């Protein structure tokens, strides 16, 4: 997906297909979202197979859909790749469960991921990122997007308790879940790719738990934390552990690499911003927030209307699927002036909703923010300049905004 929109062309909203994969692989959806926010803040679309959904694109409407579980439930499905098929894990998978059960489970699981809990991991994360960046310092072409897909596994694999021999397989499987139509990850049809990846990931966590229990030892990993979590005085069921472990693996591996690649591309295209970041390292935390806003790697989430519900100047009927376009909300000029400008010193960048909003705000956000901050601290300290070494290739997905290839050529930063 193009993160810097092209010239404003005439757009016929009646002809726009938001499920057109070409729109995200080679098109310019931000221009379409701009027009939707202005002229069709609630837009209905029916797909050729009869499935239908309503879209919201304004910041306040996106926040309402994601934040109000009484009007918009998560218990029929939350991702557009499952549109039209009720989620069989509803009420068991944390992301597909509404409060109050969701709140109870999240509190138990999230205690291991709050900022205070992840802070001691910083040195280990920094060492992993330094090793990751070393090959780029040779001056040879380095495909950042391709290699960054493995970055979350390098960083979080040890924290999750996942052995290195399994990292590549899990990276591939999580990519299949989120981009089942991209040729790099597709196995057969989109439906087959989703079925295979979901089954393999859940089976992996299930077997991991069995091995850990039979061994009778714990190493304090995040998956161990799942096994020991208690909700309402009772442990999670094995099915809940498997499903929530699957969700944690998915969250850890999916968005961070695309935030890294998209933010680095923004800095390449704006050398003044790159120089400013180097000159003022205290701006790195805000650079991370602007990068999250700019890339909006998880570019949408889905909910279902519980009753006939007024929103965006129209009405979603009871049972209607509503897609909240995060990528659009994060470019809403009412919240982010000059939204299509990348500004690492932007005031209010932290209001971005790249991690979602409301009860389902990403439980791993503190770890993601820590990882991204350390990544850009190390990159800016080591790289004197970065240039494109080839054309970026965008992910073929209407759920994840990212790249499969971003060839770069970096030069070491001179030390004084």
pLDDT one-digit tens code per residue, 277-330: 999 999 999 999 999 999 999 999 999 999 999 999 999 999 999 999 999 999
pLDDT of residue 72: 98
Is residue 238 pLDDT above 90, yes or no? Answer: no
| Burial class of residue 238, CB neighbours in 10 A (0-12, 13-18, 19+) | middle
pLDDT tier at 216, thresholds 50, 70, 90: low
pLDDT of residue 219: 62
Cα distances (Å, whole numbers) of residue 80 to 18, 31, 179, 212, 305:
11, 21, 11, 34, 15
pLDDT of residue 416: 59
- Residue range 164-182: mean pLDDT, rounded: 90
Q: Cα separation of 30 and 10, whole Å?
A: 13
Q: What is the pLDDT of residues 92-109, one digit of tens each?
A: 888 899 999 899 888 888
pLDDT tier at 218, thresholds 50, 70, 90: low
pLDDT of residue 211: 83
pLDDT of residue 337: 97
Q: Cα separation of 228 and 219, whole Å?
A: 12
pLDDT of residue 249: 78
Cα separation of the two ends of the chain = 39
- What are the beta bridge partners of residue 411? 385
Q: What is the pLDDT of residues 124-163, one digit of tens each?
A: 999 999 999 999 999 999 999 999 999 988 888 888 788 8
What Rg, from alpha-carbon coordinates, does the chain have? Answer: 21
For the chain, what are the domain ranges?
16-412
Q: What is the 3-state secondary structure (H, E, C) of the chain?
A: CCCCCCCCCCCCHHHCCCCCHHHHHCCCHHHHHHHHHHHCCEEEEECCCCCEEEEECCHHHHHHHHHCCCCEECCCCCCHHHCCCCCCCCCCCHHHCCCCHHHHHHHHHHCCCCHHHHHHHHHHHHHHHHHHHHHHHHCCCEEHHHHHCCHHHHHHHHHHCCCHHHHHHHHHHHHHHHCCCCCCCCCCCHHHHHHHHHHHHHHHHHHHHHHHHHHCCCCCCHHHHHHHCEECCEECCHHHHHHHHHHHHHHHHHHHHHHHHHHHHHHHHCHHHHHHHHHCHHHHHHHHHHHHHHHCCECEEEEEECCCEEECCEEECCCCEEEEEHHHHCCCCCCCCCCCCCCCCCCCHHHCCCCCCHHHCCCCHHHHHHHHHHHHHHHHHHEEEEEECCCCEECCCCCECCEEECEEEEEECCCC
pLDDT of residue 279: 95
pLDDT of residue 217: 61
- Residue range 253-271: mean pLDDT, rounded: 93
Is residue 28 pLDDT above 70, yes or no? Answer: yes
Q: Are 295 and 258 in contact (CB under 8 A)?
A: yes
- Residue range 354-381: mean pLDDT, rounded: 94
Domain 16-412 -> CATH class? mainly alpha
Tell whether omega for the bond before 100 is within 30 degrees of 0, i.e. cis.
yes
- Residue range 55-59: mean pLDDT, rounded: 98
Q: Are 150 and 253 in contact (CB under 8 A)?
A: no
Out of 21-30, 219-228, 260-269, 368-377, least confident range: 219-228
Cα distances (Å, whole numbers) of residue 281 to 55, 70, 276:
39, 43, 8
% the chain with pLDDT above 70: 99
Instruction: Enter the pTM of the model.
Output: 0.95
Is residue 19 pLDDT above 80, yes or no? Answer: yes
Q: Are 93 and 249 in contact (CB under 8 A)?
A: no
- Please provide the average confidence, as pLDDT, over all residues in the chain: 92
Q: What is the pLDDT of residues 105-122, one digit of tens each?
A: 888 888 888 889 889 999
Is residue 185 pLDDT above 70, yes or no? Answer: yes
Q: Which two tokens stand for residue 239?
A: 């099915």
Is residue 415 pLDDT above 80, yes or no? Answer: no
Is residue 357 pLDDT above 70, yes or no? Answer: yes
- Residue range 69-92: mean pLDDT, rounded: 90
């Amino acid at each position: 997906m193009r993160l810097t929109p092209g010239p404003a062309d005439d757009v016929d909203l009646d002809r726009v297909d938001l499920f057109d994969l070409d729109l995200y692989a080679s098109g310019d959806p931000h221009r379409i979202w701009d027009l939707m926010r202005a002229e069709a803040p609630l837009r209905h679309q029916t797909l050729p197979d009869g499935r239908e959904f309503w879209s919201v694109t304004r910041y306040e409407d996106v926040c309402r859909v994601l934040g109000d579980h009484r009007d918009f439930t998560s218990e029929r499905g939350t991702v557009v790749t499952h549109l039209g098929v009720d989620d069989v894990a509803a009420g068991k998978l944390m992301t597909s469960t509404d409060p109050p059960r969701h709140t109870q489970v999240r509190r138990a699981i999230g205690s291991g991921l709050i900022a205070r809990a992840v802070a001691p991991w910083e040195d280990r994360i920094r060492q992993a990122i330094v090793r990751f960046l070393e090959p780029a310092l040779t001056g040879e072409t380095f495909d950042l997007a391709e290699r960054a897909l493995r970055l979350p596994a390098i960083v979080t694999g040890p924290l999750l308790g996942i052995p290195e021999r399994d990292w590549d397989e899990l990276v591939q499987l999580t990519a299949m879940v989120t981009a089942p139509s991209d040729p790099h990850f597709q196995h057969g049809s989109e439906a087959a790719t989703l079925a295979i990846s979901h089954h393999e990931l859940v089976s992996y966590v299930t077997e991991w738990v069995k091995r850990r229990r039979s061994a009778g030892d714990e190493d304090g990993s995040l998956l161990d934390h799942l096994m020991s979590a208690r909700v309402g005085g009772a442990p999670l069921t094995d099915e809940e552990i498997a499903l929530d472990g699957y969700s944690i693996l998915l969250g850890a591996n999916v968005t961070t690499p695309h935030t890294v690649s998209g933010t680095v591309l923004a800095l390449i295209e704006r050398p003044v911003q790159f120089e400013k970041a180097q000159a003022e390292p205290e701006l790195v935390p805000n650079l991370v927030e602007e990068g999250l806003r700019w890339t909006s790697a998880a570019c949408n989430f889905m909910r279902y209307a519980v009753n006939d519900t007024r929103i965006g100047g129209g009405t979603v009927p009871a049972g209607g699927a509503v897609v909240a376009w995060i990528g659009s909300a994060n470019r809403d000029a009412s919240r982010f002036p000059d939204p299509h400008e990348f500004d690492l010193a932007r005031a209010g960048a932290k209001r971005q909703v790249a991690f979602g909003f409301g009860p389902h705000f990403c439980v791993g956000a503190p770890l993601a923010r820590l990882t991204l901050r350390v990544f850009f601290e190390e990159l800016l300290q080591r790289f004197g300049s970065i240039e494109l070494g080839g054309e970026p290739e965008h992910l073929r997905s209407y759920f994840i905004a990212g790249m499969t290839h971003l060839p770069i050529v970096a030069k070491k930063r001179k030390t004084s």
